[in-house]
Amino acid sequence: MSDLCSTLTDWGDLMKKIIGLSFILFAGITLSGCSAITENSVEKTGDGSIELLTPTITTKDNQLEFMTEGIDENKVTFIFVANKKVFEQKIKNGESYKLNIKGIKDAHRTDYKPKVQLLQTKDDTENGDMVNFKQVRYTVEKD
């Protein structure tokens, strides 16, 4: 009888471990999947693309250049660099545009890659419903 109780206790401990490991595995898969979905959805929404013609600058450079393809030319395009609006106008695909980044906090950070974000909205206002969003990063090298 004591052997039976000992065996049942061992099975109980084993089941607790299996349930605990299953919970940890489920939580890990769920959390990592959610962050991947969020990351992908934040990087781009809508049609077209933005390309930085200056993917690398130095700490002394004050200009970024970009070009778009497949963006709606009839909508106002907003461009943000390091979370500051630097551009607001209708653009033509295939043409290059220059952005002045002088004096923008965090635009010359070398410890991470700053962002350039393109935004178009349904009603052509900065705070309208987003219909197109693109994000690219650039590298800043110490001069």
User: Architecture of 46-141 per CATH?
Assistant: Sandwich (2.60)
Residue 138 in 3-state DSSP?
coil
Please classify residue 107 by burial: count the beta carbons closer than 10 Å to its beta carbon, then call 0-12 exposed, 13-18 middle and 19+ buried: buried
3-state helix, strand, coil in the chain (%, to 5): 30, 35, 35
In the predicted structure, residue 35 carries a pLDDT above the cut 50: no
Query: For the whole prediction, is pTM greater than 0.75?
Result: no
CA distances to 4, 6, 14, 22 from 10, rounded to whole Å, are: 10, 6, 6, 18
Kindly list the domain boundaries of the chain, sorted by start residue. Answer: 1-44, 46-141
110: Cβ–Cβ under 8 A, 6 or more apart, which residues?
A: 59, 140, 141, 142
* Range in 17-21, 27-31, 79-83 the model is least confident about: 27-31
Q: What is the pLDDT of residue 32?
A: 64
pLDDT tens profile 42-83: 568 999 999 999 999 999 999 999 999 999 999 999 999 999
